[in-house]
C-alpha cells in the first residue's frame, strides 16, 4: 500500500466512524470512504471483524489485499479547528501520536492552482508560511516516528 502512495485509516469523529482509503495522485488525492456503524469496531477488536465495506472489497479485488492481512499499527489523534472564507475551508490541526505532537495549517480548495494561489495570498499576512515546509501526510509522519523509535530500541 505504501508503494501505491495509499493509506487506509479508520477515523472516529464525534459520532461517526469512517473507513477511508486515501490515494495520493499527481494532482490532489482520491478518497474512498465507507461510513461504518459506530459499534462495529474498536482497537481491541481484530481487523478481520470489520464489517463488509466497498473499500475493503475494492482493495481485495484491485490490489489483492485481504482484510485478514491488515495490521493495526497505532493511533494518531488530531484536534482540529476550522474556519471558512469565500476562498474555501481552512483547518488548523494539532496532532498527537507516539509521544510527540505537531501543528499544521491545511487549506482545501477547488484545484491545485487555486490552493497555491490562496496560500500565497495568506503568506502576505503570515510570511512564515513561505518559510515553513509542506508537511508530509499524517500517516507518513506516524510511520517515520514509529521507525525512528524502533531504531532507538
Minimum separation from the CB atom of position 108 to another protein (A): 5
Q: Tell me the sheet residues that pair with 97.
A: 100
C-alpha cell at 3: 508503494
Judged by CB, which is closer to another protein: 26, or 152?
Answer: 26
Q: Closest CB to another protein among 2 and 152?
A: 2
Give the span between the Cα atoms of 5 and 24, in whole angstroms.
5
Query: Binding of another protein at residue 92 (CB under 8 A)?
Result: yes
| Binds another protein by CB under 8 A, chosen from 83, 124, 151, 152 | 83
Q: Smallest distance from the beta carbon of 44 to another protein, in angstroms?
A: 12
Contact with another protein (CB under 8 A): which of 133, 151, 152, 153?
133
102 near another protein, rule: CB under 8 A: yes
Q: How many angstroms separate the CA atoms of 102 and 122, rounded?
A: 21
Assess 143 for contact with another protein (CB under 8 A).
Answer: yes
Three-class DSSP category at 32? strand
Please report whether residue 46 would count as binding another protein according to CB under 8 A: no
What grid cell was written down for 145? 516516528
Q: Quick one: CA torsion of 10, 87, 82, 30, rounded to 10 degrees?
A: 10
Q: Considering only residues 112 through 131, tell me which ones interact with another protein, judged by CB under 8 A.
A: 112, 114-116, 118-119, 126, 128-129
Cell numbers given for 92: 488548523
Q: Per rule CB under 8 A, is residue 81 in the interface with another protein?
A: yes
Contact 112/27 with Cβ under 8 angstroms? yes
Amino acid at each position: 500500500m505504501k508503494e501505491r502512495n495509499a493509506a487506509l485509516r479508520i477515523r472516529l469523529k464525534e459520532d461517526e466512524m469512517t473507513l477511508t482509503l486515501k490515494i495520493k495522485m499527481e494532482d490532489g488525492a482520491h478518497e474512498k470512504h465507507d461510513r461504518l456503524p459506530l459499534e462495529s469496531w474498536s482497537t481491541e477488536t481484530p481487523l478481520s471483524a470489520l464489517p463488509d465495506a466497498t473499500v475493503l472489497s475494492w482493495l481485495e479485488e484491485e490490489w489483492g489485499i485481504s482484510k485478514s492481512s491488515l495490521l493495526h499499527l497505532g493511533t494518531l489523534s488530531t484536534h482540529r479547528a476550522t474556519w471558512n472564507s469565500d476562498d474555501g475551508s481552512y483547518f488548523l490541526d494539532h496532532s498527537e501520536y507516539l509521544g510527540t505532537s505537531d501543528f499544521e495549517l491545511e487549506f482545501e480548495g477547488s484545484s491545485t492552482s487555486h490552493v497555491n494561489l490562496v496560500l500565497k495570498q495568506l503568506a502576505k499576512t503570515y510570511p512564515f508560511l513561505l518559510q515553513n515546509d509542506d508537511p508530509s501526510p499524517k500517516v507518513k509522519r506516524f510511520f517515520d516516528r514509529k521507525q525512528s523509535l524502533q531504531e532507538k530500541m
